[in-house]
Structure 1
Amino acid sequence: MSRRKSGLFISVAGAALLLGLSACSSSGDFGEATSGNAAVPDKANPAGGGGVAKEAAPAQPPASVQERQLVQTARVEMAVDVIFDAVSGARAIATTNGGFTGQEESRLDRASITLRIPVDKFDPALRQLDELGDITLQHKQAEDVTEQVVDLDSRLRTQRESVARIQALLAKATSVSEIAQIESELTRRQSDLESLQGRRDALGSKAALSTVTVQFALKSAPPAPVKASGGFFEGLTDGWGAFGEFFTVTTRVLGAMLPFLALFGIPAGLWFYFRRKRRKVTPPVTESV
């Protein structure tokens, strides 16, 4: 009886083991089949070939404080003694700090200039500008563009992989229609890639070089000191000076009128002279009664 029970137990255990192995085998086959069909054809593949499905970009860890991408700008207004000397000094500050100058406009009493300074020399350059004159206004601003940079870098990687896949399909195309369709799609994706690259380069340039706009204005002349009123002698001096100015103005007016008096006065005098003489020569007429 014990042998029969032990044999039955061994048979049941063997059957259970076989069922477990068959279940594992079937699940493994299903997994392989699923992974084999995971390559979804690319929508942009007009040839109908099996493309590689796009994988989601891995999540980027947050950047540390030192790795943040900042676009720094500043606007400075200054009062200076000489406009052109201040503009020359601003150019020298830009070049000595490894930067360059942008838009510039100068007049006799005011000027404006744009400086592009490396981000690590931003604060030292502002301190150097303080030596050119008196700062009347200074405004600094920093914009964090780290998330934009990370997003553009991820999109660039994905777009490069997409272009590479289309190029691989183009190498395998056989018919003229397939080549034309794939080339059209390749052109579109390369255009998108260049657009993304341009945006990334522009944003990187803004983050690498800070912008400082400087406006110079000429210092106003100090007001003339008011003289204190003096005594009798100072009044006499002022009066004599006023008389001299009056005499000078009078003689100047007479000198200006002299040519006109000579032109019109002499004929008028001769006319009155001859008229008066004629009255003396002509006898008066008497009426007879």
Structure 2
Amino acid sequence: MKRRTIATVLLAACLVLAGCSGLGSDGASDAPGDDGANTEAAMKADQQEAMEGAPPDDGGGGEPNADQSGSPDAKSPAARQAVIRTGTVNVEVEDYDASRTSLVATARGMGGFVSDSQQTLNREGNRTWTTGQVVLRVPADRFTDLLAAVRDEGTVVSERTQAKDVSDQLVDLEARLENLRRERERVREFYDQANTTQELLRLEERLSEIQGEIERLEAKKRSLEDKVAYSTLTVKLEEPEPDPEPEEEEEEEQQAFHERSVVGAFADSVNTLVVFVRGAVVTLAYAAPFLLAFGIPIGGVGAAVWRWRRD
């Protein structure tokens, strides 16, 4: 009797253990099916955080530290005030080439360079004068010194300067870049753990999108930082237009008739005769076709009438 009872208890224990093993294996087999949904949800959350520019939650439930709060480090360039300074000055100078050479040398001495230049030679009769412009870029802290040097080159016709604060734009770009870099790392982790071809293709496409967005924002950030570091001054240089020179003929006409030299009077007379003869020849050349067209018929009719009267 006791042996039957012990056998029944052992049989029941084996059945219970088999049931627990079946449940454990079912739970393990269901886990891989949830990886795709969890990965997609995490990607969407990261993408939303990158678009909003807010740092992702670390999941710890505690207070965010200085880096996670979105405030940049006090030593980073974004933490300082970033101002883009530009200006345009029109200056009238006596010598275009000399003034341009002087301004270029001044800018280079300040650690700057020439980013653009153009020059035009104006001509009217025997008069020539030069106009043009040169775009100078110097470190931001030397912009005022360059402006003073330009004013000393000549007479300032017009002047305009502008300052634009882009500190908020740089902070926003840095926050968005940080979030995109974190999302890129998480997507790479999901990519390493992916089990299906469809999931690999989806993650690879997302990685390409993130990398393209990072490169675009980094280029924009570099451009802003370059404009902040180097101010731009466009200088338009203009030589004054020369006064018209009096012609020699006008000076001779202003002289009295009896004060002119005999040789000059004879030369003028010969020139007048030549002009008259030339005019007569040209007039005859114009009239010749008409004389031939109308003169021959009229001459024939006249000759016929004359013969008829004589007969």
- Bin the TM-score by the shorter chain: 0.5 to 0.7
Contact 1:112/1:213 (8 A) holds in 2? yes
Evaluate the alpha carbon distance shift between residue 141 and residue 163 of structure 1 in structure 2; reply closer, same or farther with a 3 A threshold. Answer: same
Which of 209, 212, 217 is the matching residue for 2:233?
Answer: 212
- Residues of 2 paired with 1:105 and 1:93: CA distance? 18
In structure 2, how many angstroms separate the alpha carbons of the residues matched to 1:148 and 1:173?
Answer: 37
Aligned pairs for 1:175-194 within 5 A: 175-194=196-215
Alpha-carbon separation, structure 1, partners of 2:265 and 2:41: 100
Residues 258-277 of structure 1 deviation map (CA, whole Å, 9 limit, x = unaligned): 7999xxxxxxxxxxxxxxxx
Is it true that 1:115 corresponds to 2:122 in the alignment? no
Deviation digits for residues 26-73 of structure 1 (CA, Å, limit 9, x no counterpart): xxxxxxxxxxxxxx8663549xxxxxx92395253898xx93100100
**2:191–2:203: 8 Å Cα contact kept in structure 1?**
yes
Alpha-carbon distance between aligned partners in 1 of 2:226 and 2:86, rounded to the nearest angstrom: 13
Q: Does the 8 Å CA contact 2:134/2:236 hold for their aligned counterparts?
A: yes
Q: TM-score, normalised by structure 2?
A: 0.57
- The residue identity in structure 2 corresponding to 1:107 is T
1:194-230 residue CA offsets vs partner (Å, 9 max, x unmatched)? 1111111111111111111111111244799xxxxxx
Against the structure 1 CA distance between its residues 241 and 128, is the aligned structure 2 distance closer, same or farther, given a 3 Å change threshold? Answer: farther
Aligned Cα root-mean-square deviation (Å): 3.5
The 5-angstrom pairing of residues 1-289 of structure 1 reads 43=41, 45=43, 54-55=56-57, 58-60=69-71, 67-108=80-121, 109-221=130-242, 238=256, 240-241=258-259, 248-254=267-273
Q: What stretches of structure 1 of length at least 5 have no aligned partner? A: 1-39, 47-52, 225-236, 262-289
Range with bigger deviation, 212-221 or 152-161: 212-221
More moved, 198-207 vs 71-80: 198-207
Larger Rg: 1
Unpaired runs of at least 5, structure 2: 1-37, 45-54, 58-63, 122-129, 246-254, 281-311
Displacement, 1:157? 1.0
Aligned residues: 205
Q: Is the 8 A contact 1:93 1:129 kept in 2?
A: no
Structure 2 Cα separation of the partners of residues 129 and 123 of structure 1: 10
